[in-house]
């Protein structure tokens, strides 16, 4: 048997950030991840899995020492975010309105994970166990347990950071609620004619949104939401025909481009019925998944990390065990309502724009126009979306 204060299943972005945040409190952490991320090479093509990292998430990661590596590899800061359905009725968020240089960064998930792992490997209180897939999780009066490769590990807490299909959550007996949306998403990485773009935009159409996310250098990610059968058909097209379909479906501002790679995935919503059970705690996608319309997914996970670290720190100062019900209940009270509110807001936005009824189209485009000129309200929305 090997013992730590904290066991973490899942060494992705949220798991690695959790390890750093709790180790900074003086706790001994063992982090398990079966799949090591591929090392960075500047000549590699851009990954298809990317995240829009908010200002608040950047600050958290900087404090944890996990952002430095991103700057040495690659990312794309974005200064503006535009949304519209009719060209004359749009809302544009601009970092300049808040006196900031940028709203956030678009970062490949693997790049951010590698940056966090650099910090993890430097930290004296974190042990990173790679190539090992935990097989069994349980808890008793002595602690939380994990079995991997025939060895047993015990901790005061076990964190489930192992994604939407979390085995930690399942074996802890924590249920979920959720559903699949009526759309799939096609992500298409392209090489653009512009050397570097600094804005992200999203156009709503009757069949689903079309969006562009800037990537480092002359690259971008196109995101096409549509019916599952439409996305499946698009994936089967030869590259030339797919490019013609993109030019027909996306706005003219797209410009010239060449397709580099693509992949698709379904849109789902899922929410754990509890964020902890005994000594088991859920964070990130293990606790909640969200419609990706606003790019808030991993930012909510980083908010989980910050909240858990804060309640554990407070509990330690007050002499409470880190696994006490009082400590973990405070974590759940902080994060469950906020995540639920964001899920509900994204669903409302999705439903509002997912129909072609003229009265609703008039109302929502009027709403976007009013929001664009709402002054202080618009700035508050920007600050909330950035986590500030």
Q: How does pLDDT run across 59-108, given as a tens digit for each residue? A: 999 999 999 999 899 999 999 988 887 666 677 888 888 888 899 999 99
Q: How far apart are CA 269 and CA 263, in angstroms?
A: 20
**Are 117 and 239 within 8 A, CB to CB?**
no
CB burial string 307-337: b at 16+ within 10 A, e below: bbbebbbebeeeebebbeeebbebbbebbbe
Q: How confident is the model at residue 229 (pLDDT cuts 50, 70, 90)?
A: very high
Q: What is the pLDDT of residues 345-380, one digit of tens each?
A: 777 766 665 666 555 556 555 555 555 556 666 566
Q: Which residues pair with 215 in a beta bridge?
A: 219
Residue 239 has pLDDT above 90, yes or no: yes
Residue 150 maps to a domain: yes
Structure confidence at residue 210 (pLDDT): 93
Q: Which domain holds residue 170?
A: 2-74+108-178+269-353
Structure confidence at residue 323 (pLDDT): 97
Residue 218 maps to a domain: no
Residue 13 has pLDDT above 90, yes or no: yes
Here the CATH number for the domain that contains residue 144 is 3.50.50.60
Residue 17 maps to a domain: yes
β-sheet with 143-148: strand ranges across: 2-3, 151-155, 143-148, 136-140
Torsion, Cα 4 23 74 43, to 10 degrees, reads -30
Structure confidence at residue 207 (pLDDT): 86
Q: What would the mean pLDDT of 162-170 be, rounded to a whole number?
A: 97
Q: How far apart are CA 327 and CA 7, in angstroms?
A: 17
Give the percent of the chain with pLDDT over 90. 71
**Are 113 and 12 within 8 A, CB to CB?**
yes
Q: Which residues pair with 226 in a beta bridge?
A: 184
Residue 244 maps to a domain: no
The tokens describing 331, both together, are 């974590």
Residue 381 has pLDDT above 90, yes or no: no
Token look-up 């544009």 returns 92
Structure confidence at residue 379 (pLDDT): 64
Mean pLDDT estimate for the chain? 90
Structure confidence at residue 361 (pLDDT): 53
Q: How confident is the model at residue 181 (pLDDT cuts 50, 70, 90)?
A: confident
Residue 276 maps to a domain: yes
Q: How far apart are CA 269 and CA 291, in angstroms?
A: 6
Q: How confident is the model at residue 257 (pLDDT cuts 50, 70, 90)?
A: very high
Q: How confident is the model at residue 137 (pLDDT cuts 50, 70, 90)?
A: very high
Residue 288 maps to a domain: yes
Coil, strand or helix: which one is 143?
Answer: strand
Residue 205 maps to a domain: no
Q: Which residues pair with 293 in a beta bridge?
A: none
Higher pLDDT, 360 or 317: 317
Structure confidence at residue 93 (pLDDT): 81
| Residue 188: CB atoms within 10 Å | 24
Structure confidence at residue 360 (pLDDT): 55
Residue 141 maps to a domain: yes
**Are 117 and 38 within 8 A, CB to CB?**
no
Helices (H), the chain: 13-23, 55-64, 68-72, 109-122, 167-172, 228-236, 239-249, 297-317, 325-353, 358-372, 376-385
Give the percent of the chain with pLDDT over 70. 88
β-sheet with 50-54: strand ranges across: 50-54, 104-108, 76-78
Q: How far apart are CA 125 and CA 66, in angstroms?
A: 15
Number of domains in the chain: 1
Coil, strand or helix: which one is 231?
Answer: helix
What's the pTM?
A: 0.92
């Amino acid at each position: 048997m090997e013992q730590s204060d904290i066991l973490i299943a899942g060494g992705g972005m949220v798991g690695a950030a959790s390890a750093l945040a709790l180790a900074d409190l003086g706790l001994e952490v063992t982090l398990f991840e079966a799949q090591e991320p591929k090392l960075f090479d500047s000549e590699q093509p851009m990954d298809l899995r990317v995240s829009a990292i908010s200002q608040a998430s950047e600050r958290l990661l900087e404090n944890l020492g996990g952002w430095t590596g991103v700057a040495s590899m690659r990312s794309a800061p974005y200064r503006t975010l535009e949304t519209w359905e009719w060209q004359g009725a749009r809302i544009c968020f601009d970092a300049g309105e808040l006196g900031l240089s940028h709203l956030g960064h678009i970062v490949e998930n693997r790049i951010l994970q590698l940056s966090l792992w650099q910090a993890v490997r430097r930290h004296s209180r974190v042990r990173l166990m790679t190539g090992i897939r935990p097989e069994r999780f349980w808890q008793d009066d002595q602690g939380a347990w994990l079995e991997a490769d025939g060895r047993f590990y015990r901790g005061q807490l076990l964190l489930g950071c192992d994604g939407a299909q979390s085995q930690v959550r399942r074996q802890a007996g924590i249920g979920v609620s959720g559903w699949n949306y009526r759309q799939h998403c096609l992500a298409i990485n392209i090489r653009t004619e512009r050397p570097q773009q600094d804005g992200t935009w999203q156009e709503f159409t009757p069949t689903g949104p079309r969006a562009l996310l800037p990537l480092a250098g002359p690259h971008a990610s196109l995101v096409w939401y549509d019916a599952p059968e439409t996305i499946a058909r698009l994936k089967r097209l030869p590259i030339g025909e797919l490019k013609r379909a993109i030019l027909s479906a996306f706005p003219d501002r797209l410009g010239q481009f060449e397709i580099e790679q693509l992949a698709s995935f379904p849109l789902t919503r899922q929410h754990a019925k509890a964020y902890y059970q005994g000594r088991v705690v859920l964070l990130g996608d293990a606790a909640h998944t969200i419609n990706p319309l606003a790019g808030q997914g991993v930012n909510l996970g980083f908010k989980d990390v910050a909240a858990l670290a804060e309640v554990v720190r407070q509990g330690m100062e007050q002499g409470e065990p880190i696994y006490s019900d009082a400590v973990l209940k405070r974590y759940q009270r902080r994060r469950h309502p906020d995540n639920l509110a964001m899920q509900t807001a994204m669903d409302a936005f999705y439903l509002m724009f997912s129909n072609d009824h003229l009265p609703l189209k008039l109302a929502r485009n009027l709403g976007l126009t009013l929001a664009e000129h709402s002054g202080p309200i618009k700035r508050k929305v920007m600050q909330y979306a950035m986590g500030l």
